[in-house]
Amino acid sequence: MTNVVEVKQLTKTYGSVQAVKGVSFSLEPDKIYGLLGRNGAGKTTIMHMLTAQLFATSGEMKIFGESPYENNNVLTQVCFIKESLKYPDNYKVIDVLELSESLFPNWDREYAYSLLQDFQLPLKRRIKKLSRGMHSSLGIIVGLASRAPLTIFDEPYLGLDAVARSLFYDRLLEDYSENPRTVILSTHLIDEVSRMLEHVIVVDNGSIILNEDSEELRSAAYSIAGASSIVEPFLTGKKIIAKQPFGALVNAAVMGRLSAEERKKAESLGLELAPVSLQQLIIHLTNGKLDAKEADRS
Amino acid sequence: MNRLSSVLKMHFRDKATWFIIPYAVLASSFLVNLIVGYISQEEITTGGIMSIYVYLFVMGITVLPQTFNFALSFSVRRHDYFTGTALFAAANSLFISVILLVLGAIEKATAGWGTHLHFFSLPYLNEGSIIQQLIVYFMIIITLFFSGFTIGSIYRKFKGIGMIVMAIVGVAISTVLSFLMTHYNWWKYIFAWFSDKTALDIALWLIPITLIYALVSYLLLRRSTV
């Protein structure tokens, strides 16, 4: 099967500022992708270009095998929910749902209304009068019920409490297993979504610094804790991405895999081994990148 | 075709903007004139109908910030957005024209609402057959809408800088033109040209102007981003 998204050397410059610097990646069908990175890293710009809402300065881009610009073959298959979504001033919740029904070919009306109940959204209320969290819920409902073959959520939960967020994750996973599609979830709440993501792309400063299967990623590093006198010799020759001393103890995150032998040795030495959480790993990786840059400069 | 009907639907659902406020504006202007007419008991010819024209000009400007980003975010093509919006605006202009025509007929039949008020039915503008009057109304309304829409499109494409440049260029051109016209004494030809034209003639001249507005705004929107 062909890739849903194929991007080559995508670049966006604003004057002298390069917001996106020659990014290349591809997305396979029916997977949940995490597009992660700090605020201002270029995530939203990339997604705007994928949906032809912004124009790339240079680079190639194919969505469902075609260019997305002014292309209904592509656009009817895409639903892009962003945090800053603005609705017409006089619109009510029902207006958005009715319009979505006519715009998204796979729209499931019944499902939309059941989500409306789940998120306790008043159908007749004007959108201007919705709270920030309700506003976000509306976007989530549209994104889920659109069942678009490529559904993109860009920080969809501003103002949503933890209960509503986990409701979103549950509904997304449920519906995804029944109606597989390609989902891009862009967020900085990495730990919350890490269990859903099948593949992770990390953007930093306009470039992709990590593009990895999440299973691979989780096993790509481990953390080790114990008395520093024991840990330090164990660490020699290993790629340490972070080290935090607590008095006589030390907690280190290490890139790479442990062999069974090393694992046994560590256990016999009384060291504690644990997986590194995705969030930790990404923070380590992005910090490492930033540190390297600082070093370059000086 | 399906996307086009969605854009029509998008505008249709904004009932307040298209179907309530313009008539509320017109009604309030009419009411004030009617009250003045009753009190003064004189024959009054008023330009109060301008209120709805001005509203449509403003609407041409505001429809873009209200719906363009929204439509693009909901996977609508720029082409469909433009075509749908232009169609809806045309249908709306026709609808308003018919209403104005009917109110004008009532005004004539009731001798100016019983108080000799000339609000909807005006000298010069309301001459000729019903079809001719309809064309005059329609062209005034749609030209104003598209001139606003063009301003909105320039803002969409070029943002604040575009507005400043447009204002400077506009002022510069009109200054130079009016200087030339005064210098070479062209004003009298212009007035002479207008003076022997009927309202219908001028309305027909508005057709190419509106088409230019539409083309310019289409080209600008095709290159506009959110």
Q: What is the pLDDT along chain A (298 residues), one digit of tens a residue?
A: 589 999 999 999 998 999 999 999 999 999 999 999 888 889 999 999 999 999 999 999 999 999 999 999 999 999 999 988 899 999 999 999 999 999 999 999 999 999 999 999 999 999 999 999 999 999 999 999 999 999 999 999 888 999 999 999 999 999 999 999 999 999 888 888 988 999 999 998 999 988 989 888 888 888 888 888 888 888 888 888 878 888 889 888 888 888 888 888 888 888 888 888 888 788 777 775 544 444 444 4
**Residue tagged 């201007």 (tokens):** A128
Lowest mean pLDDT among A19-23, B7-11, B192-196: B192-196
Residue-range domains of chain A with CATH: 5-213 (3.40.50.300), 219-297 (3.30.70)
Residues of A contacting chain B (CB within 8 angstroms): 48, 51, 53-55, 70-72, 75-76, 78-80, 82, 85-91, 95, 98-100, 102-104, 148
Enumerate residues 6+ apart whose C-beta is below 8 A from A226.
A249, A250, A269, A270, A271, A272
Residue A15 token pair: 């004057």
CB contact under 8 A, A98 and B222: no
Q: For residue B65, what is the nearest residue in chain A, using CA coordinates?
A: A88
Looking from the CA of B109 toward its CB, the CA atoms found within 13 Å total: 6
Count: domains in chain B: 1
Measured distance CA(A168)–CA(A156) in Å, rounded: 10
Residue A14 token pair: 């604003």
Query: What does residue A2 show for φ and ψ, rounded to 5 degrees?
Result: -75, 160
Measured distance CA(A63)–CA(A68) in Å, rounded: 6
Residue B164 token pair: 């400043």
Contact A60, A8 (CB under 8 A): yes
Share of chain B above pLDDT 70, in %: 100
Enumerate residues 6+ apart whose C-beta is below 8 A from B105.
B121
Q: Which of B17, B75, B222 sits opposite A90 (nearest CB)?
A: B17
Q: CA triplet B181, B183, B188: central angle to 5 degrees?
A: 50
Residue B136 token pair: 């005059």
Encode pLDDT of B82-103 as tens digits. Answer: 999 999 999 999 999 999 999 9
Q: Which of A51, A80, A99 sits opposite B13 (nearest CB)?
A: A99
pLDDT of A288 reads 59
Encode pLDDT of B116-145 as tens digits. Answer: 999 998 888 888 899 999 999 999 999 999
Q: Which of B6, B66, B72 sits opposite A99 (nearest CB)?
A: B6
Measured distance CA(B135)–CA(B203) in Å, rounded: 7
* Domain extent for B172: 2-222
